[in-house]
Amino acid sequence: MLEVSGLNSYYGESHILHGIDLTVPAGGRVALIGRNGAGKSTFLKSLMGAGPTARGEIRWDGRNLKAMAPYARARLGMAFVPEDRRILGNLTVFENLKIVRGHTSSGRMATPEEILDQFPLLKPLKERLGGVLSGGQQQLLALARAEISNPRLLLLDEPTEGLAPVIVENMVADVQRICRNGCSLLLCEQSLWFSRRCTDYVHVIDSGRLVFSGLWQELDAAEDVMKRYIGI
Ligand SMILES: Nc1ncnc2c1ncn2[C@@H]1O[C@H](COP(=O)(O)OP(=O)(O)OP(=O)(O)O)[C@@H](O)[C@H]1O
pLDDT of residue 173: 94
pLDDT of residue 66: 86
Ligand 1 neighbourhood includes 15 CB (under 6 angstroms): no
Instruction: Write the single-letter amino acid at 121.
Output: L
Check: CB of residue 33 under 8 Å from CB of residue 195: yes
Check: CB of residue 139 under 8 Å from CB of residue 93: no
The string of DSSP codes covering 73-134 is: HHHTTEEEE-TT----TTSBHHHHHHT----TT--SPPPHHHHHHH-TTTGGGTTSBGGGS-
Ligand 1 neighbourhood includes 210 CB (under 6 angstroms): no
Q: Mind listing the pLDDT tens digit of every residue in the chain (232 residues)?
A: 999 999 999 999 999 999 999 999 999 999 999 999 999 999 999 999 999 999 999 999 999 998 899 999 998 999 999 998 899 999 999 999 998 876 545 566 788 999 999 999 999 999 999 999 999 999 999 999 999 988 999 999 999 999 999 899 999 999 999 999 999 999 999 999 999 999 999 999 999 999 999 999 999 999 999 989 987 6
What's the domain range around 226?
2-230
In the reported structure, the alpha carbon of residue 54 is separated from the centroid of ligand 1 by a whole-number distance in angstroms of 14
3-class DSSP string for 205-231: EECCEEEEEEEHHHHHHCHHHHHHHHC
Sheet with 14-24, side-by-side order of all strands: 14-24, 2-11, 53-60, 63-64
Nearest protein Cα to ligand 1, atom 26: 36
pLDDT of residue 101: 72
**Distance separating alpha carbons of residues 36 and 164, to the nearest angstrom:** 19
In the reported structure, the alpha carbon of residue 17 is separated from the centroid of ligand 1 by a whole-number distance in angstroms of 10
Nearest protein Cα to ligand 1, atom 7: 11
Angle formed at CA 153 by CA 65 and CA 103, multiple of 5 degrees: 75
- How many domains are there within the chain? 1
**What ipTM did this prediction achieve?**
0.95
pLDDT of residue 198: 98
For residue 147, the domain's CATH number is 3.40.50.300
pLDDT of residue 149: 86
Check: CB of residue 169 under 8 Å from CB of residue 193: no
pLDDT of residue 125: 97
